[in-house]
């Protein structure tokens, strides 16, 4: 899909990958960009930058774990710019905890990393299917394909959302709607960099697997992937080979990860 003339909504867009995507989509000529985040000030700043650069954008806060908040977000986009053409469910959380993570951490991971995308699909895909076109971009992470050593809730929920994205793609592609899973590995964001600096084992394992990318590099890869309507958008090309190796022999792949200290 070409982004020129499209109405785009993004969650988790006050900083990092989400902010980079919002600015890049605006630069591609989007008809309107709705920047959403739990941080209203950050979302307002990104929207203001887009407007200052000649684009069209508004900010609208939303808690992605709330279907009512996401419903209001879609309604705001329609009121300001028209029907949503592209919905990017991008917000995510990570705690860097193992299987003994607290119940609250497991529940929050599930609500944000999985149910956000379920709600987004419920809210925008029916209208897109009726029009015969539209795009749902789900930020899943390479952890959904390869795992995130040291972070059990993140690994489990990101694997779950890959399964959701596959089901949605199989169901809605015949209706003209594209679903893609964006799966970066390490990116220089507030989600990862502080943990790397602190020496957290999970963050260091991610950083060892491939060079950390800038959010703008992820946005560039995303635009290319959306033009080609790739199901898996992989900003780190090494993820493709690792995923193929895992599929060939999962047991051997696990042994190798253990041997590499991942």
| pLDDT tens per residue, range 201-245 | 666 666 666 677 899 999 999 999 999 999 999 999 889 999 999
Q: What is the pLDDT of residues 27-65, one digit of tens each?
A: 999 999 999 999 999 999 999 999 999 999 999 999 999
20-24, 93-97, 105-109, 208-212: range with lowest mean pLDDT:
208-212
Tokens of 64: 């992605």
What is the DSSP-derived secondary structure letter of residue 187? Answer: B
pTM attached to this predicted model: 0.92
Residue 19 has pLDDT above 60, yes or no: yes
pLDDT digits (tens, 9 = 90+) for 162-187: 999 999 999 999 999 999 999 998 77
C-alpha separations of 231 from 155, 224, 241 in Å: 20, 12, 16
Read off the pLDDT band of 257 (50, 70, 90): confident
Element (H, E) at 180: strand 177-182
- Among 231, 232, 234, smallest CA distance to 169 is for 231
Q: What confidence tier does 138 reach under pLDDT thresholds 50, 70, 90? A: very high
Quote the pLDDT of residue 198: 58
Q: Could you tell me the pLDDT band of residue 149, with boundaries at 50, 70 and 90?
A: confident
pLDDT band at 137 (very low <50, low <70, confident <90, very high): very high
| Inter-axis angle of helices 116-131 and 67-80, nearest 10 | 40
Residues 173, 11: Cα–Cα separation, whole Å: 23
Instruction: Give the model's pLDDT for residue 203.
Output: 60
Residue 194 clears pLDDT 80, i.e. is over it = no
Give dist(CA 96, CA 147) in Å, integer: 12
Q: What is the DSSP letter of 76?
A: H
Q: Is 119 labeled as catalytic in the residue annotation?
A: no
Residue range 240-253: mean pLDDT, rounded: 94
Active-site residue (options: 119, 135, 154, 172): 154
Task: Inform me whether the pLDDT recorded for 5 exceeds 90.
Answer: yes
Helix (H) or strand (E) holding 63: none
CATH architecture under which domain 7-259 falls? 3-Layer(aba) Sandwich (3.40)
Q: What number is the average pLDDT over the span 188-206? A: 62
């Amino acid at each position: 899909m070409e982004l020129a003339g499209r109405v785009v909504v993004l969650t988790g867009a006050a900083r990092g990958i989400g902010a980079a995507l919002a600015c890049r989509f605006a630069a591609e000529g989007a008809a309107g960009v709705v920047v959403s985040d739990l941080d209203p000030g950050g979302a307002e700043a990104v929207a203001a930058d887009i407007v200052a650069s000649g684009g069209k954008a508004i900010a609208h806060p939303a808690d992605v774990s709330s279907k009512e908040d996401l419903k209001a977000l879609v309604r705001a986009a329609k009121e300001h710019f028209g029907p949503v053409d592209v919905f990017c469910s991008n917000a995510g959380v990570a705690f860097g905890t193992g299987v003994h993570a607290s119940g609250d951490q497991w529940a929050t991971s599930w609500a944000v990393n999985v149910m956000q995308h379920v709600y987004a699909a419920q809210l925008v895909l029916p209208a897109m299917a009726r029009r015969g076109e539209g795009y749902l971009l789900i930020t899943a992470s390479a952890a959904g394909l390869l795992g995130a050593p040291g972070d059990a809730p993140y690994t489990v929920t990101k694997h779950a959302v890959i399964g959701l994205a596959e089901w949605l793609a199989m169901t809605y592609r015949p209706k003209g709607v594209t679903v893609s899973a964006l799966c970066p590995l390490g990116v220089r964001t507030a989600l990862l960099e502080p943990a790397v600096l602190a020496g957290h084992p999970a963050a260091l394992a991610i950083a060892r697997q491939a060079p950390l990318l800038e959010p703008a590099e992820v946005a560039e890869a995303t635009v290319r992937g959306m033009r080609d309507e790739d199901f898996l958008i992989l900003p780190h090309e090494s993820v493709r080979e690792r995923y193929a190796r895992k599929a060939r022999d999962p047991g051997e792949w696990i042994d190798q990860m253990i041997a590499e200290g991942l």
